[in-house]
Structure 1
Amino acid sequence: MNKSTAVLLLTSALGLTACTTTTAPQPADVTILGLNDFHGNLAPTSFTRADKTAISAGGIEAIAAEVNDARKANPNTILVGGGDLIGASPISSGLLRDEPAVYALNGMGMKVSALGNHEFDQGLDELFRMQNGGCASNDAAKACKFDPNYKGATFKWIGANVEYNAASGKTGTPFAPYIIQDINGIRIAFVGAVTKTTPGIVSPDGVKALTFTDEAAAVNKYIPEIKAQRPDAIIMLIHEGGELATGSTDNYSTVGCKTLKTDSPIVDIAKRVDPAVSAIISGHSHQGYNCLVPDPTGKDRIVIQGDFYGHLLQRLDLTVDKANHQVMSVKAANLVVDYTAREKAGTLDFGMTQIRTTAEAKVAAISNVEIAKLGDPQIQRGVSNARNTESPLGDVIADALLAATKNQGAQIGLMNPGGIRADLPDTTRIKPGNAVNFGDVFAVHPFGNTTTVLSLTGQQIKELLEQQWSGANATAVKLLQVSEGFNYKYTLSNPDGQRVNIADITLNGTPISATATYRVATNNFLAAGGDNFTVFKAATNVVQLPGLSDTDVLSQYLKANGPTLKNVVKGRITKL
């Protein structure tokens, strides 16, 4: 276990029921380790510790070693997930349909995970295949290339708020809402949920048979049923999260923080979830925090998230009374999964090394192809993965979209920041001569999106920009990245729908006209209204370019312009 990690000292008595204790207490200790937003990152990536030390963190070899150490210290240890374990993955897992990631999690002994939105990236049927095994995939070129007899996940994905809709012709839930795990005689119930915004942030066809209901209400619906089975504790696994308030000095190592933004989705959810839930393991927002949020009775309850890509493991240490099925105390910590230190100490997990090297060998012929040399060692996607600002890599990708589609009459390129999954390249993969290979490009664009060109009026463009801060994007701003020649200003303090003045939107120095029509290049996900940019669905003259993938677009642009590209924000978007 990483000894430098701060451990939460808060201890609170949290009874599962209102029953009076009638049997002599039988205390037992259990350790719950949580992994959220892993995204198939078999290898470590760059991470900055709370003390500002830059390290390589995560990677299956180091994660497994951390889990093994916890089990040695306490045999009553269980590994669980906070969703997005697969999807949006680097090439060593993504090009193999994330089967290596599933096998790695199986090997670590993961038992249960909340569903994440990215679990639905390839549709419900493919998610069933990932769970149950087999090779009947919607992408035969990738499925069963890691193991010709893919066996599926030995852990279970759960989601109380995922239901079949009427159009599906089915009823009920496609996944179990909760699972009770027996850990050497200690019975812990895990109840799961995924962000209710999932339909707006995945390809619509993939979830057309499903309804995603309110997370807290769905979990509360099952609490009486769970309590009737008298588990020793109930833990919520949810793929929804929050962010620390602007100006807060808290970070992932802060003990019992109370500075989560009040409008964070997880805060609202936590305040409504039944007090029988002793702690909440969260995800989705790619943040590290170890906070306290009042439950419906006003008592503080732990809400924790472990950054992303396996950089941190969320740790809950519970003492339960097995005789009376109550939680006696809970403490929490975020553990840094320090790959750098473990590599030096020779304590990486060998079994995981075999999975990683096998996967990397299978994709090496494609991954290692050099694409270009950049003008800087790295072009970044934004400080701390921020999605609410213009970024150097966002500028490059928007320019690449425009360049690839000028023959289709494109005038503007637009890219969603959530579709930019890594720096180019990650700090751990910077190479001599500022070279980038196809694996680096794939890490930036792992979705396999294709390119679309469509027409929008100037007024629609103005309304599209307004959607960056409204509706479901109000609490998780997604600032579209824009191409060269397209500029606009915004005033964040203005009301919804009034943050952008159409007179402040210019194309090649000239204000756009509300009634004129403009050709816009983007990806098929945004064009379908993804990330809650529904204005795209009203576009006209839509031309799909299925043969032009996002990796093709970026690769071609890098080949043509690599040495001129710098890690610089171009200043196309101005905050007033």
Structure 2
Amino acid sequence: MKRNLLLIGAALSLSSCSTLFGPATTNVTVIGLNDFHGNLEPTNFAGVKVPDPADPAKQISLRTGGVEVIGGYLDQERAKNPNLIFVGAGDLIGASPVTSSLLRDEPSVIALSKLGMRASSLGNHEFDQGLKELLRMQNGGCDSNAPDKACKFQNPYPAAGFQWLGANVVDKASGQPVFAPYSIQEVGGAKIAFIGAVTKTTPTIVSPDGVASLSFLDEAASVNRYVPEIKAKGADAIILLIHEGGVSKDGFDQPACGTLTGPIADIVNRLDPAVSAVISGHTHQGYNCTINGRVVIQGDFYGHLLQRLDMTVDKRANKVTAIRAANVVMDPRSTPRNAAMTELVARAKTLTDAVKQTPLGTVASASILRAANAAGESALGDLIADSQLAATADRGAVIAFMNPGGIRADLNATGGGTTVTFGDAYAVQPFGNTLVVMDLTGAQIKALLEQQFDNPNPGSNRILQVSKGFTYSYDSTAAKGSRVDASSIKLNGAALDPARTYRVTMNSFLSTGGDTFSTFKEGVNVLQLPNLVDVDALAAYIKANPGVAGGAQDRIIKVR
């Protein structure tokens, strides 16, 4: 017995020596994905041009991304370095194509889980369907607010295989985090801590009702709060996954750029020095920059690029001694496909293609664009507002308003022709917002139009798209509250009467004050139309108007 104890003691001593005298450093690869938005299949990436097969003299965007190629790349790189960890920077779901969103984005979460994702920051779009539904996406089950979509891909839905992280998302009543603030992952013997945060502007860009119980705190202060706790647990590296970003003058493939501006720059400048690198998102930009010597990277959107950090970690000193950062194009020409992902995408398409391919009617051109003119008005915005007015005219509506942020893509006719399918329309309006009708006075409509210039998200277009017959002009240089010329606000050529009541239509997101348009919350005689979804209104309008064109963009005039 004594001999056995001596042998055990010797083994323990050897184990301790191995820890003390084994390799001090390890090489860890971190792969990041931001703003995936349920894009299971490849999409056009403007960052890389290739010859058009139909006309080699013409250059077109390379189709990149998709879980098959992302999975193939991860397989390939894991074979080179098993010390690889896959993480996200938010908006993995929400505002998704029909192949994912008609199945409540469950195929996308299942795909990313199967690809080995370990953690992701929350994004604002994770909250599109409210907190309860997001918790279901995290924890599994079929108790959904969309029973017609939930658990249709896999029953029961098995839960995410990764943790959504939100250090700055707390319950208003208790002040406690609703999601884990951080996750420590062991990779190659090193402890890598990931802290997650989401833009504090989230309540202004999602339906307020869905996040009414939550507070979104300052990002940097929330991250810094957890750094001592993480260090006390022996973390060798700390990486911030954050759904907030900026813009850079340099290309996605330019290393160590120094031109990054926007909210992320302020956040990074206030971070604890122990945070070694920042994987960011939200602004749909490709950049690879440094701020005060710290890597700050973002990978475009839809999986076109993956962020890659190759780190040398000193396990004895508990620190990162080197980081090499790069954005990697998910190029199907040079990257193998993951067979399991091919099977998953095929199943999702089988379940959704019948709906997706249903023809609605014809349009005047192959594409109706969402790009706004100098006044902030778009041809597609006009068309959508017209469709919502037409859908609610029998409820007395005379004006319709549409938020530009809810228009997620151009209306592209299938195959470059003029026939539009339900899938084409759904790509434009994937949120499933329902329509609402209410009464506003002329004075309230003037106040609403002035709120377009109270922008909590600088750089974004907040000019509401309006239905035909409603016109006005504005001067962006005028004093706050006086930018819209009251005498120019007209309905069918007649000046709006400030004291008169008008019946107006908007989507359910706007109706509760979304995008900080609080005037909508003052409406009276509110009629909720739970069975009238915005995309269905657009579909019906296209059916009823063969060859319909986008609006002429002449309803809103910018004087200066």
TM (norm. structure 1) is: 0.87
Q: Which residue of 2 aligns with 1:334?
A: 327
* Contact residue 201 and residue 457 of structure 2 kept, 8 A: no
* Contact residue 384 and residue 538 of structure 2 kept, 8 A: yes
What are the residue-to-residue correspondences of 1:221-300 with 2, within 5 Å? 221-244=225-248, 248=249, 250-261=250-261, 264-293=262-291, 299-300=292-293
Range with bigger deviation, 173-182 or 322-331: 322-331
Q: Which residue of 2 aligns with 1:381?
A: 370
CA distance in 2, matches of 1:211, 1:459: 32
1:169-203, Cα deviation, whole Å (9 max, x unpaired): x5622211000111121211100111122222222
* Contact residue 36 and residue 282 of structure 1 kept, 8 A: yes
The code of the aligned residue for 2:256 comes to G
* Structure 2 residue matching 1:255: 3-state secondary structure: coil
**Structure 1's 258 and 412: CA in aligned 2 closer, same or farther, altered over 3 A?**
farther
* Contact residue 414 and residue 522 of structure 1 kept, 8 A: yes
Shift of 1:569: 5.3
CA distance in 1, matches of 2:467, 2:287: 34
CA distance in 2, matches of 1:478, 1:142: 31
% same residue: 53
Which residue of 109, 114, 118 corresponds with 1:111? 118
Q: Which residue of 1 aligns with 2:194?
A: 190
Q: Which residue of 2 aligns with 1:138?
A: 145
CA distance in 2, matches of 1:533, 1:63: 39
Q: Which residue of 2 aligns with 1:399?
A: 386
Q: Which residue of 2 aligns with 1:440?
A: 424
Shift of 1:544: 1.6
* Contact residue 362 and residue 548 of structure 2 kept, 8 A: no
What are the residue-to-residue correspondences of 1:336-355 with 2, within 5 Å? 336-339=329-332, 341=333, 347-355=336-344
Range with bigger deviation, 472-481 or 86-95: 472-481
**Structure 1's 440 and 487: CA in aligned 2 closer, same or farther, altered over 3 A?**
same
Q: Which residue of 2 aligns with 1:206?
A: 210
Q: Which residue of 2 aligns with 1:310?
A: 303
* Structure 2 residue matching 1:54: 3-state secondary structure: strand
Shift of 1:432: 5.6
* Structure 1 residue matching 2:367: 3-state secondary structure: coil
1:343-386, Cα deviation, whole Å (9 max, x unpaired): xx7x2222111111101101222222111122111222228xx9
1:242-275, Cα deviation, whole Å (9 max, x unpaired): 234xxx4x232233333334xx222221221212
CA distance in 1, matches of 2:375, 2:45: 20
CA distance in 1, matches of 2:266, 2:472: 33
| Residue 413, structure 1, aligned to residue 396, structure 2 | no
CA distance in 2, matches of 1:94, 1:67: 24
* Contact residue 411 and residue 519 of structure 1 kept, 8 A: yes
* Contact residue 467 and residue 473 of structure 1 kept, 8 A: no
What are the residue-to-residue correspondences of 1:7-26 with 2, within 5 Å? 26=24
Which residue of 443, 446, 449 corresponds with 1:465? 449
Shift of 1:474: 4.0
Q: Which residue of 2 aligns with 1:9?
A: none
Shift of 1:277: 0.9
Q: Which residue of 2 aligns with 1:321?
A: 314
Identify the structure with bigger relative contact order (alpha carbons < 8 Å, sequence gap 6+): 1
Q: Which residue of 2 aligns with 1:54?
A: 61
* Structure 1 residue matching 2:444: 3-state secondary structure: helix
**Structure 1's 535 and 257: CA in aligned 2 closer, same or farther, altered over 3 A?**
farther
Range with bigger deviation, 456-465 or 326-335: 456-465
* Contact residue 387 and residue 478 of structure 1 kept, 8 A: no
* Contact residue 454 and residue 540 of structure 1 kept, 8 A: yes
The code of the aligned residue for 1:104 comes to A
| Residue 499, structure 1, aligned to residue 488, structure 2 | no
Shift of 1:152: 0.8
* Contact residue 404 and residue 461 of structure 2 kept, 8 A: no
**Structure 1's 499 and 23: CA in aligned 2 closer, same or farther, altered over 3 A?**
farther
CA distance in 2, matches of 1:521, 1:154: 41
**Structure 1's 82 and 277: CA in aligned 2 closer, same or farther, altered over 3 A?**
same
1:19-70, Cα deviation, whole Å (9 max, x unpaired): xxx9998332222111111111111122212557511121111121222222
CA distance in 1, matches of 2:429, 2:453: 24
The code of the aligned residue for 1:257 comes to C
What are the residue-to-residue correspondences of 1:55-134 with 2, within 5 Å? 55-134=62-141
Shift of 1:108: 1.0
Which residue of 438, 457, 467 corresponds with 1:483? 467
Q: Which residue of 1 aligns with 2:36?
A: 38
Question: Between Structure 1 and Structure 2, whose CA radius of gyration is higher?
Answer: 2
TM (norm. structure 2) is: 0.89
The code of the aligned residue for 2:410 comes to D
What are the residue-to-residue correspondences of 1:162-173 with 2, within 5 Å? 162-166=169-173, 170=174, 172-173=176-177
The code of the aligned residue for 2:407 comes to I
Shift of 1:125: 2.2
Following TM superposition, the consecutive aligned residue runs of length 4 or more in structure 1 with deviations greater than 6 angstroms are: 22-25
Equivalent pairs counted in the alignment come to 531
Shift of 1:122: 2.0
